[in-house]
Amino acid sequence: MTVDEVFDRVKTIISEKLGVEEDEIAMDSDLTEDLGADSLDLVDLVMALEDEFDFKVEDEQIENISTVGDIVESIGKGLGVED
């Protein structure tokens, strides 16, 4: 799996969970400021991503996630994704 494939899957999940059009989601989109997520949305989003990619996001990682790119990077590290 490549970073682009991870990003495409992440965009789909974010779109479904936050009700945002996929074309409005970029790697530098801020989850709260640009996409309107609140703390409950973020928890729901992390759970959906964990299910989709079959890995666990540690609590410390969640605190450091503010953009879509942060999510893609965390997933990439967890899965050993290639560029």
Domain span including residue 70: 3-79
Q: Residue for token digits 């953009």? A: 67
Residue with structure tokens 């479904």? 16
Any catalytic annotation for residue 38?
yes
Provide CB contacts within 8 A for 75, sequence distance 6+.
Answer: 6, 10, 49, 53, 55, 81
- From CA 45, how far away is CA 42, in angstroms rounded? 5
| The residue type at 29 | S
CA angle 3, 6, 76 (to 5 degrees): 65
CATH number of the domain where residue 22 is located = 1.10.1200.10
Per-residue pLDDT of the chain (83 residues; tens, 9 = 90+): 899 999 999 999 999 999 999 999 999 999 999 999 998 999 899 999 999 999 887 778 788 889 999 999 888 887 787 66
| Domains contained in the chain, number | 1
- Among 34, 38, 41, 44, the one annotated catalytic: 38
pTM, two decimals, is 0.89
